[in-house]
Chains A and B, each alone.
Chain A
Amino acid sequence: GAVVSQHPSRVICKSGTSVKIECRSLDFQATTMFWYRQFPKQSLMLMATSNEGSKATYEQGVEKDKFLINHASLTLSTLTVTSAHPEDSSFYICSAGGQGGGYTFGSGTRLTVV
């Protein structure tokens, strides 16, 4: 079945540095990928919709300059958290697919900013 590979699964970084999270569709082409964020004991929050070859569409309240999304190919989308701060610590997850109604999620990335 469809697989979405997300890396890294866990990352710890220092405040002020940038972190890149990759999301790859391994056996299918994904023209659209979604990026979500989840806070403890809360539901997923859609951050942005990533479209191959064009600018991402960000949800209201999400800082475009802080959360840079690039979807350079049909199999790769990246989320870069720039100048990370402790409040950016969270769980980030991507998803892709939609053919026949099935969506596949990446395994998620636990970001801790210290």
Chain B
Amino acid sequence: GNSVTQMEGPVTLSEEAFLTINCTYTATGYPSLFWYVQYPGEGLQLLLKATKADDKGSNKGFEATYRKETTSFHLEKGSVQVSDSAVYFCALSDSGGGSYIPTFGRGTSLIVHP
């Protein structure tokens, strides 16, 4: 079956530090990959996505590259801000017989200190 594994948090950084949140996946098909963000008290929001190998998704300074050879989709940002403090979810959406059932990681909490 499909699965998504992402690094456990919380990840605690100082402002302007470099961020990496690792995500690896297993899938039976050829999935689309996503990163979602959830700010305190709010629902999930799509942060970025990639639909095929070597695609790079980017948004708000965050980037992630679809690496089929390593089955990874690590999230990076060059300089984090306090406002980036949130929970980040890696996810995949696989056709799985046409049902496109999503699979989520558990989420990684990011805390950025001034």
Let me know if A41 and B87 touch, CB within 8 A: no
Let me know if A41 and B106 touch, CB within 8 A: no
Alpha-carbon distance between A32 and B87 when the two chains are bound, in angstroms: 16
- C-beta contact mask, B19-52 vs A, less than 8 Å → 1, else 0? 0000000000000101010100111111001010
Q: B65 to chain A: which residues have CB within 8 Å?
A: none
Q: How distant is A96 from chain B, measured CB to nearest CB, in Å?
A: 11
CB-contact partner of B100 in A46, A91, A101, A102, under 8 A: A91
Let me know if B43 and A49 touch, CB within 8 A: yes
Q: A43 to chain B: which residues have CB within 8 Å?
A: 34, 36, 46, 49, 93
Let me know if A91 and B43 touch, CB within 8 A: no
Let me know if A91 and B102 touch, CB within 8 A: yes
Alpha-carbon distance between A44 and B107 when the two chains are bound, in angstroms: 15
Given the interface pairs A46-B44, A108-B102, the reply to whether A102 lies near B109 with Cβ below 8 Å is yes
Given the interface pairs A34-B43, A36-B44, A49-B43, the reply to whether A44 lies near B36 with Cβ below 8 Å is yes
Let me know if B99 and A103 touch, CB within 8 A: no
Is chain A's interface secondary structure helix, strand, loop, or mixed overall? strand
State which residues 30-62 of A face B: CB under 8 Å.
32, 34, 36, 38, 40-41, 43-44, 46, 49, 59
CB-contact partner of B101 in A46, A101, A102, A108, under 8 A: A108
Let me know if A110 and B101 touch, CB within 8 A: yes
Let me know if A110 and B107 touch, CB within 8 A: no
Let me know if B46 and A91 touch, CB within 8 A: no
Give the size category of A's interface with B.
Answer: 20 to 34
Let me know if B10 and A91 touch, CB within 8 A: no
Q: How distant is A28 from chain B, measured CB to nearest CB, in Å?
A: 14
Instruction: Spell out B's residues near A (CB within 8 Å).
Output: 9-10, 32, 34, 36, 38, 41-46, 49, 51, 87, 89, 91, 93, 98-102, 104, 106-109
Beyond A40-B100, A59-B43, 11 extra complex contacts between A and B, CB < 8 Å: A41-B32, A41-B51, A41-B100, A43-B36, A43-B49, A44-B36, A91-B99, A95-B44, A100-B10, A101-B10, A101-B107
